[in-house]
Amino acid sequence: MLLEIEKKSDYEQRKKEDDYDLELGLLDIVFPWLIPVKGMVWIASKLKTVAEEEATDEGRIQEQLLKLQMKFEMDEISEEEYDRKETQLMEKLEAIRKYKEEYE
């Protein structure tokens, strides 16, 4: 239970650090030309978040592994090609897991 609370608080803290709030303040009233700049920073922040989520999606790699295995079992690809592609996908999966361990 305590571990879940700690995980949630870590997630919420990281989420707060990653999210750039697009709130208007006194500086925006004084310097209205900052509003488009803040908008671009917000868009860049959202793009970074989405790209990181897609790049670290283990499910996509696992799905590719299953498709590869099905092709091999149906004799659509050779054993050498299967081994080569499986090795590549497993390396990607391992890299994703190492990345998640370091940054989560």
Digitized pLDDT (tens) for each residue of the chain, 104 residues in all: 334 444 444 545 555 555 556 677 777 778 888 888 888 998 999 999 999 888 888 999 999 999 999 999 999 999 999 999 999 999 999 999 998 888 76
The per-residue pLDDT for 38 is 86
* Tokens standing for residue 22: 């697009």
pTM reported for the whole predicted model: 0.57
66 and 41 co-located in one domain: no
State which residues form the domain around 72: 58-104
Q: How far apart are alpha carbons 104 and 99 in whole angstroms?
A: 8
49 and 76 co-located in one domain: no
51 and 63 co-located in one domain: no
13 and 62 co-located in one domain: no
- CB-based burial of residue 101 (10 Å sphere; 0-12 exposed, 13-18 middle, 19+ buried)? exposed
16 and 45 co-located in one domain: yes
Report the domain count for the chain.
Answer: 2
Q: How far apart are alpha carbons 83 and 60 in whole angstroms?
A: 19
43 and 77 co-located in one domain: no
